[in-house]
Chain A
């Protein structure tokens, strides 16, 4: 069963805590991406990685960190420095131009 998985589907955290969102793909894609989506809004790019052990900041990287130690995995950490972390987080991957998305993780800060 190929595709992109994100876990957990729903995540709650207390203010001031760091939290890590998981993204795994078995599509053998080189590039992976993290987006943030706020209610009624479009997608904003947080970080992306075009190859293992390399990643670049997107448009809204402040308060987030990533790693890309394996081709299949691209975890996103939402740190306490992110002022407004409550949002829907989407992971995507691509082999060329077309990006395919995971089901998303809804993060709520209590």
Chain B
């Protein structure tokens, strides 16, 4: 069926650099997207979301970009810190037919080197 996937399973960056985590989705009916951060042994934590009527949304040190033409979602983290080291998941809500169900990607492990 339809799925959400990530381009890179791992990403290693230097402290202070910007990080970009990518996500591809295949369902053109998806109208809502979320990024989660999961630290080891903990539950996923909401970071930022975006609806399909937008192409960019900014939070504190994070920006989500949505390109509906190529069905691509990205999470940008500015001035990456060691505390940002975690697995990052994207998730999509596949429109009204799915109700409140989300489909999750496989995750990207971000490692921040001091």
Chain A residues proximal to chain B, CB less than 8 Å: 4, 6, 31, 41-43, 45, 48, 50, 58, 90, 92, 94, 96-104, 106
Contacts and interface: CB of A to CB of B under 8 A. Distances in A.
Contacts of B104: 42-43
A97 B42 contact: no
Nearest to B109: A40
B94 to A, nearest CB: 11
Nearest to A58: B101
Contacts of A92: 43
A103 B100 contact: no
Given A42-B106, A42-B107, A101-B43, A48 B89 contact: no
A106 B106 CA distance: 19
Contacts, number: 49
Contacts of A45: 101
Interface of B: 32, 34, 36, 41-46, 49, 89, 91, 93, 99-102, 104-107
Contacts of A103: 42-43
Contacts of A4: 43
Contacts of B46: 98, 100
Nearest to A44: B104
A97 B93 contact: yes
A42 B23 CA distance: 13
B44 A42 contact: no
Q: In the complex, which of the residues A42, A99, A103, A106 has the most CB atoms of chain B within 10 Å of its own CB atom?
A: A42
Contacts of B102: 97, 99
Of all A-B residue pairs in the complex, the 7 with the closest CB atoms, nearest first, are A101-B43, A43-B104, A42-B106, A97-B32, A101-B44, A42-B104, A104-B43
Contact of A90 (B43, B49, B91, B106): B43
Nearest to B6: A42
A101 B87 CA distance: 15
A46 B36 CA distance: 19
A58 B41 CA distance: 23
